[in-house]
């Protein structure tokens, strides 16, 4: 993927890969633009109904109102923000859930602790929907998800362009340089995470992580360009995984040593991740 002829936009878009990317991007952007235009049309037609304002507004409503009133936010600016929400939160969250279930299925003791926590929260009611308070009470599951994201970050590599000349550890980095952070390897730094290949959710107990450098663990990136949907993604993962483990047990059928990784934009396995899912014993007939 990282080849010299892909470094320059004018050359890349002359190549088949660049033309294909431009075609698919146009399809997505045209769809988003059509949604924005329809929403803007509706907002303008509803301006007279001042008494029908909702207490909570969707992101697009807020952006469009600012665009209409202040004029300093263009429709293309809004399109970029909507694209972020619409397209960037699907594969990453799905990968996070997949890797979490895989790790839970490899560690029976971890799975039992999660189910004990869920039983304390929900009792015997396997159908009750999860609410906000339930999510706050899933403290052990939260640590499990963090440890899973440490070992298998959904986005294994992130890149940044340097906005001004800087110096890091004696190495000068000029403005305009592109820097790559390999999150997958960063999370395996033995000086920060002893025995890094071990799956240990207790690494994220408050007493074990209090003095950890804030950028030593960055599954959602960090700083002003971090993932704006990280809290929502974690809530999604908790809701789905808790729904599964309230009713079923999972067993991973492939050991980590035999599961080759495909390092793409999203961290995946190059082989299917096989799980055996059984009804929990107390619910089986």
How many whole angstroms separate alpha carbon 156 and alpha carbon 220? Answer: 10
Alpha carbon of 229 to those of 118, 134, 236: distances in Å? 25, 20, 11
Contact assessment for residue 184 and residue 276, using Cβ atoms and an 8 Å cutoff: no
What does the block give as tokens for 3? 């080849």
What is the rounded radius of gyration, in angstroms, for the C-alpha atoms of the chain? Answer: 23
Q: Specify which residues 221 forms β-bridges with.
A: 219
How many whole angstroms separate alpha carbon 267 and alpha carbon 285? Answer: 38
How many whole angstroms separate alpha carbon 64 and alpha carbon 74? Answer: 9
Contact assessment for residue 97 and residue 145, using Cβ atoms and an 8 Å cutoff: no
What does the block give as tokens for 237? 């993962």
Contacts of 276 (CB under 8 A, 6+ apart): 105, 250, 251, 253
Instruction: State phi, psi for 180 to the nearest 5 degrees.
Output: -115, 130
Secondary structure (3-state) at 168: strand
Query: Any binding-site annotation on 179?
Result: no
Element (H, E) at 148: helix 139-151
Residue numbers belonging to the annotated binding site: 227
Residues belonging to the binding site for heme are 227
């Amino acid at each position: 993927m990282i080849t010299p002829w892909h470094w320059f936009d004018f050359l890349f878009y002359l190549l088949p890969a660049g033309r294909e990317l431009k075609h698919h991007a146009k399809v997505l952007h045209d769809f988003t633009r059509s949604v924005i235009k329809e929403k803007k049309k509706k907002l303008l037609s509803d301006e007279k109904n001042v008494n029908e304002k909702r207490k909570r507004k969707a992101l697009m409503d807020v952006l469009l109102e600012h665009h209409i009133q202040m004029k300093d936010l263009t429709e293309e600016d809004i399109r970029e923000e909507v694209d972020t929400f619409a397209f960037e939160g699907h594969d990453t969250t799905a990968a996070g859930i997949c890797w979490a279930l895989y790790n839970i299925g490899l560690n029976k003791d971890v799975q039992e602790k999660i189910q004990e926590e869920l039983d304390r929260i929900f009792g015997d009611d396997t159908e009750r929907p999860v609410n906000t308070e339930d999510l706050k009470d899933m403290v052990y599951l939260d640590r499990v998800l963090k440890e899973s994201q440490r070992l298998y970050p959904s986005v294994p590599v992130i890149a940044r362009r340097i906005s001004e000349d800087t110096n890091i550890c004696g190495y000068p980095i000029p403005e305009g340089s592109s820097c790559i952070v390999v999150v997958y390897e960063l999370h395996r730094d033995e000086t920060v995470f002893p025995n890094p290949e071990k799956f240990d959710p207790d690494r994220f107990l408050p007493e074990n992580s209090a003095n950890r450098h804030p950028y030593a663990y960055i599954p959602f990136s960090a700083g002003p360009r971090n993932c704006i949907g990280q809290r929502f993604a974690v809530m999604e993962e908790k809701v789905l995984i808790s729904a599964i483990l309230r009713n079923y047990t999972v067993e991973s059928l492939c050991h980590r040593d035999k599961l080759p990784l495909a390092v793409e934009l999203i961290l995946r396995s190059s082989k299917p991740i096989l799980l055996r899912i059984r009804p929990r014993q107390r619910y089986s007939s």
